[in-house]
Amino acid sequence: MDPTPQRKIIHVDCDCFYASIEMRDTPALRTVPLAVGGQPDKRGVIATCNYLARRYGVHSAMSSARALRLCPSLTILPPDMRRYREASQAILHIYQRYTALIEPLSLDEAYLDVTGQPHCQGSATRMAEAIRQQIREEVGITASMLVAPNKFLAKVASDWNKPDGQLVIRPADVDDFVAALPVEKLWGVGKVTAQRLHQLGVNCCGELQQWPLATLRQHFGRFGERLYELALGIDTRPVSNERQRHSISVEETYVQDLPDLNSCLAQLPALLQRLQQRLARHQHPALRGLTVKLKFADFQQTTVEQAAPNLSAERLAALLRIAHARGNKPVRLLGVGVRLAENGREPWQLPLFTPDD
């Protein structure tokens, strides 16, 4: 008999978090299409929006200008991160009443491992209901929750019962639930991988379960092993409150397009300085690579990466040249970043621009 208890994982996702805080504090906003994000005349982007705005097709990561074209009556407010962090802390304190195993994913999203907890007679379903009620009463917003035996299952269907909903996947339900799951729902399966799976005749996990592990490795390399496990609903990762950051980056969307490569290169010193400041706040973590991201005026996007143990202006400039050559068009957004080493085992160096650079 396996002495290890069945995990009970709750995935919490607050409903349109930033917009919900704005509607809580200004009740008149509850009856109008509302978004939080940048202004359209400054090439702003929507961070989130309420459900009234979503009826018009507005969604996060959409340009504010396009959002206004879809919904001319849309109210767009600038983000107020201080209030959002205060609400997030209040929600965290509610989680802590039920478990110490909390893995935040963002200000409004987290995993909770409530395995073996005595609250609510040990029922994860009842704990989730209690947490939802306390968030509603004490913070003034709603949250949706999914209860499942592992993190993958708890996350994969988190948006199926929104807003203010709750879904429970019991261990006995896992096989049927996963078998019907579209392959697009699997972590790491983007458009390209999904298309390859469809070409191979695989549309859902039930069909993917029929493939031997060796065959999946032939087609997808090491990722085939992950596909094999997820298609069976297997995910052994623990909920961790010592989450490691994998990357740090900064980016800028420009009011006027950067017309050519030289104008992009001229923006690098300012971006690098901001990146160095962010790294300093994280106590100079060890690096394993550099990244440059470009979004062209036609919204085509490209990213170039290179393994590197230190932050170098010369390397970033070289990556920028490669990225720009892929489109050779005016640029609306430029970003630079670093990939962080696992467990800080690789050496850290911090070269700076000299006054002559």
Contact yes or no for 302/333 (Cβ under 8 A): no
Torsion, Cα 74 79 85 87, to 10 degrees, reads: -30
Contact yes or no for 205/180 (Cβ under 8 A): yes
Q: Which of 185, 147, 140 is nearest to 165 (CA)?
A: 147
Does 41 carry a binding-site annotation? no
Does 15 carry a binding-site annotation? no
3-class DSSP state for residue 89?
Answer: helix
Q: What is the DSSP string of 160-195?
A: TT-SS-EEE--GGGHHHHHHTSBGGGSTT--HHHHH
Q: Which neighbouring-strand residues pair with 11? A: 111, 146
Phi-psi region of 284 (alpha: psi -120 to 50; beta: other; left: phi over 0): left
252 annotated active-site: no
Contact yes or no for 268/313 (Cβ under 8 A): yes
Give CA–CA dist 158/137, Å, rounded. Answer: 22
Cis amide prior to 163 (ω within 30 degrees)? yes
Catalytic residue among 86, 109, 305, 342: 109
Torsion, Cα 65 70 71 72, to 10 degrees, reads: 60
Backbone angles phi, psi at 163, to 5 degrees: -90, 165
| Burial profile 34-53: b = 16 or more Cβ within 10 angstroms, e = fewer | bbbbbebeebbbbbbbbebb
Q: Which of 109, 88, 108, 110 is nearest to 100 (CA)?
A: 110
Q: Which positions are catalytic?
A: 109
- What are the binding residues for Mg(2+)? 13, 108
- What are the binding residues? 13, 108
